[in-house]
A and B are shown apart, each in its own frame.
Chain A
Amino acid sequence: MINSRFFNRSELIGFIALAAVLFVILPLSLDVFRLNLVAKYLTYAFVAIGLVLCWGYGGILSLGQGVFFGLGGYCMAMFLKLEASSVENTKIQSTPGIPDFMDWNQITALPLFWQPFHSLTFTIAAIILVPGLFALIIGTAMFKRRVGGTYFAIITQAVAAILTILIVGQQGYTGGINGMTDLRTLKGWDIRPDHAKIILYFVEVILLFACIGIAQFIRLTKLGRILVAMREQEDRVRFSGYSVANFKIFAFCMAAVFAAIGGAMFALNVGFMSPSFVGIVPSIEMVIYTAVGGRMSIFGAVWGSLLVNFAKTGLSESFPQLWLFGLGALFIAVVLAFPNGLSGIWADYVQPRIDRLLASRKSKPKDGWNSVADGAPAE
């Protein structure tokens, strides 16, 4: 049964609430600095939405989402860096016109793979295609051979380690451990002043809602159903004649593309990109935002990314000693007590009470997280 409505009632409320917070409440109540922080947190929400699709629904836990976040971010950063390294801007270098870190590393000509990043069209295509193709290769190699579960998780983790070491090691081509800093303009438009930050924030929120829409669409079609079926009983789906591997590859690629969009927005909003957002630690943190928000809920993932990051910033500002404790305890608590995260708590405890308060005359079956998560129509 496919729900004919795009959102059921509780999802519609969730959608309106999220839109109100992101479009109205936060921009009106926060100063530009804080709003920029929110923009930074929201870039992880893109990753988290992808993880809801591939982990929550497909049951594929990827510990390498930082790789795709990084690939997207580096594609964007390379374009911005080239624009910031015009001949006038880099007069003092021994070879003007190339990025500063290349100059420091005695590289005198722009490497070949940098050349196409002069074009914004190419860059935007690359942000989608490079991570997408990379995910396609990894996914094909793994899922066609029925590698899954923990093995897949560990191999993606190794990929994240490889990419980090590569970026750090090839300083002349990638900016090394410092990453690409001092990004200034996008097609001549300065991305640093306050009004630009606000515009970029809204662009990002619009993109985020586009991704939510796509994810919701995937969830509600037959594809989403098959993903869930695969997670629960993979063999039965296979015996029913579906190509399990192809569905998994698709979910993994979608998650990779979402993560890459997040990464590209990160480079624009924050103004730099570095290997510290690529490796294992950030990749696991992204999984944890999803877990805290609720691995079965698209909106939950967005809230999870926002709240955990707010908590992280807040706690590390006021109690630098305690924040790792708090964060660690939070993850353990979520895993042990609330496997469906905040959205599970909401659906299991808060929503029934609200429903009871609103107590319509119609007798309504209990709306547990299951039905919310699977998009089953509330009767």
Chain B
Amino acid sequence: MFGDYSIGDLGSIFVMQGFAGLILFSVYVLMALGLAIIFGQMGVINMAHGEFMILGAYVTWLTSNTFQSYLPSLFSGYFFLAMILAFLASGALGMLVEWVLIRHLYKRPLDTLLATWGLSLMLQQTYRSVFGPREVGVELPQWMLGSLKVTDSIEVPINGVFVMGLTVLITIVVAYVLYKSRWGRQVRAVVQNRIMAGAVGINTEKVDRYTFGLGCGIAGIAGSAFTMIGSTGPTSGQLYIVDTFLVVVFGGAASLLGTIASAFSISQTQSTLEFFMSGSMAKVLTLLAVVGILMLRPQGLFALKVRK
């Protein structure tokens, strides 16, 4: 298996493979952060999470097209505006959905699964009607193309580095908002004991709505970031949903650190295995390992010790 490579080659292969794993890791973290809030904190099984990501991707695509036609001089910076717009669009849709649908179902978590699946079907058809059935790709600004040459045999793509930086930034912001800010304390209070939180004067309905909106907004940013890596179609969201749920569940639903750790282990396992076997078998083995470990540790890697 290794016979054809020298030690140096092998080293760079593992570094490159590890780097590919890091990009995958960023993608997983971005996908899972929003869900970790919605599913981990609120307990809502949002099967439409992928569709919120796709909305972010379509918003980015629209922004890039607008910049290309009307503001070509600013095209190199369109991405930052696009991400904000994606966050706002997905977040607003999320708050609407919470108001129309989710708030009636907090006591029936399994039913949120069915209802949001219905929602995801409707969103998919909306995308298909509005944007057409074909996949769309975003044109990247010049500075994002190409790759950084680290050594002679190791190169890293710039858009990958960008996505990684973005992931770190968003993770820090989310962690700060949830664990340090006043609002984050309210969120965690509502999650732990809705009635008691209401009794001490927290407007639980408002907190629920904004929490759901925040989770969906982060999904929108994730979708926006995906446009740099691949193309987007109306049904792309469904491809991500299982991976995303597994990342969150594997890490221990209510723990942000767990989500990050599980995203890291899953992505590194997969990208390392991919070097030895076909992509699909690597995926099967990774998922099997995750399911196997979940059977041993049902609460995930980083289970919060709480009394139920």
The residues of A with any CB-CB pair to B shorter than 8 Å are 61, 63, 141-142, 145-147, 149-151, 153-155, 157-159, 161-162, 165-166, 168-169, 280-281, 284, 287-288, 291, 321-322, 324-325, 327-332, 334-336, 339
Contact = CB atoms under 8 A, between A and B. Distances in A.
Given A324-B122, A335-B111, A157 B295 contact: no
Interface stretch (B60-68, B176-184, B208-216, B241-249): B241-249
**Chief secondary structure at chain B's binding surface:** helix
12 contacts: A145-B295, A150-B45, A155-B291, A158-B242, A165-B284, A280-B241, A288-B117, A325-B122, A335-B115, A335-B118, A336-B101, A336-B115
B196 interface: no
Interface in B44-71: 45, 47
Nearest to A160: B242
A142 B295 contact: yes
Contacts of A63: 113
Contact of B114 (A159, A166, A169, A291): A291
B129 A153 contact: no
A150 B109 contact: yes
Contacts of A142: 295, 298
B110 interface: yes
Contact of A161 (B113, B119, B287): B287
B290 interface: yes
B305 interface: no
Contacts of A153: 45, 110, 113
Interface string B264-308: 000000000000001011011001101100111010000000000
**Chief secondary structure at chain A's binding surface:** helix
A331 B115 contact: yes
B129 A321 contact: yes
B121 interface: yes
Contact of A157 (B115, B125, B245, B296): B245
A330 B109 contact: no
B294 A331 contact: no
Interface residues of B, number: 43
Contacts of B290: 158
B232 interface: no
A169 B111 contact: no
Given A321-B129, A329-B122, 11 more contacts: A61-B113, A63-B113, A142-B298, A145-B298, A149-B109, A150-B113, A153-B113, A154-B249, A288-B118, A328-B122, A330-B118
B287 A158 contact: yes
A165 B270 CA distance: 14
B284 A328 contact: no
Given A146-B298, A149-B110, A150-B45, A324 B115 contact: no
A321 B238 contact: no
Given A149-B109, A157-B242, A169-B281, A328 B119 contact: yes
B121 to A, nearest CB: 4
Contacts of A334: 114
B112 to A, nearest CB: 8
Given A142-B295, A161-B242, A169 B284 contact: yes
Given A153-B113, A169-B278, A158 B246 contact: yes
